[in-house]
Structure 1
Amino acid sequence: MRVAFVGKGGSGKTTLSALFARHLLASGAPVLAVDGDINQHLAEALGHHGGPFTAPPLGAHLTGIKDYLRGTNPRVPSADSMIKTTPPGRGSRLLRLLGDDELHTRHVRRAGGVPLMVTGEFDESDLGVACYHSKLGGVELYLGHLVDGPGEYVVVDMTAGADAFASGLFTRFDLTFLVAEPTRKGVSVYRQYRDHAREFGIRIAVVGNKVTGEDDLLFLKEQVGDDLLTHLVHSPWVRANEQGRAQGGLEGHNRHALNVLRAAVDARPKDWDTLHRHAVEFHLRNARAWADRATGEDLAHQIDPHFVPGPPALT
């Protein structure tokens, strides 16, 4: 299952992404965390200490990723003609979670024991000339070519706010957790995300964070309604962990909230047809908007009408 954490900047979505990934790993589940935020802090939140995190960033190796994933697909003759929304077809290289393949071997490193891939930060050459979403192309292609199985999890820390809708990446998940603080600003992003998500039938569940009492919880229930799945209370353990002096473990209520999140994910049926339909829809949107002109090709031709998504494609 693919899970995204979104929310207002400062809401705690990176912290929640890390807590959930570590919670899954502790249970013995196969899990991959992906840092898709412009502020690359997920490695530290997972427990990486010392020097810089050394995983080669996806955003810096996009051409190589395209070349690998296109495989022998005759509809994608070169990396130059492949864009971030190009869906897989017959001949494409499909991935198994944490498989023994070139992409995972190159880009996955462990942070606090959790396998992690990163998109990479803005560097000096990007400033003023590039959009961060261009770096997210590697994540979009990865999820588009991934065939994850039962009991496997991908946890993605997304960009902050409604900015996550600037690409089709938001349609690549089985469930999206929106982290909301009990403030008006905290729930404003929820309303934006809810309205955009409804247009495409995207399932979201709200996770209240930094709740300090009944008044906070009542506020979230009034503002969010039935979309509120669970909440986490203010956590001295998380604060101590962020200060490098963690001891003991996460509070009982917050551990219970993580169990609720996992139960919600596990209860979602895997809908390969919808995932692929969204991939095709956003590929056509991008082709018409800019990519046909940029490549000089009709990229609608890249859609393989006979491709069957999901496990059957592996054979």
Structure 2
Amino acid sequence: MAAIVKADKVCYLATIGGGCPDEYQCALTCSTCYRGVGKVASYCRAGGGGFPYDSCVCAMSDGAPCSPSEQQCVPAPKQSKSQRSNLQNPPDQQAMESIFGLVGDGFAVVAADTSAVHSILVHKSNEDKIMVLDSHKLVAASGEPGDRVQFTEYIQKNVALYQFRNGIPLTTAAAANFTRGELATALRKNPYMVNILMAGFDKEAGASLYYIDYIASLHKVEKGAFGYGSYFALSLMDRHYHSGMSVEEAIDLVDKCIIEIRSRLVVAPPNFVIKIVDKDGAREYAWRESIRDINVAAA
């Protein structure tokens, strides 16, 4: 059964009966309400009687039609776990990229491919995906190009604004938690399809590395990776990584990961950039190039 309630410029349709055990199924149900006009949002409304949720609520706003005759939503069909997994994790730009990093003795190193691709096209092979956040922090990001650039620049400017206002820089942990908070806020509105490895060095805490994915999960790690290249990088780091690595050992392990990705991955990017952060600051360490961009005159 469905109950329609009209409020100021917003219409709420609650699908009652059967409960709302899954917010994803509720979103699928409300998606059938959309008629190409306005906005349709969904959420599960808490109920009682021993049930965690009682109804799936669809909120139509900004001119979305809301009359019983034309706005009758139908329940979403049940889907298998594999079908849901494919819908929730579609193959996209994030998986085509490779970024990884690790923490050594007093430093952290991150590496990223430098390919700018779309679909089956490679636009350039010298795209730097590791941003210097401030003097002692690095952000390696993968994801949709627009989201990646816009979000990392947004974080960079807000970190700089905090230091300008307060006279002290954010610690790496504080910057990571701020980044996670912004992703979590955007997740319910207009999510950024960005995965991030944040590396930094603090006088008290030393070097650290934070893993932040596009659904705002945050973990402090000693090694991490994103993209298809992570299948090879993580396995190699599991085998060869140990705490207290020297810079030479860490770079040798990074090179092993790059060689493995190039030789085993069918969509392997040719070029990588490596950056390091320690007590002396964040800086570029090296490029690993197998091809170079060449400017060719138009025919």
| Structure with greater Cα Rg | 2
Highest RCO, 1 vs 2 (Cα 8 Å, sep ≥ 6): 1
TM-score (norm. length: structure 1): 0.27
More helix by percentage: 1
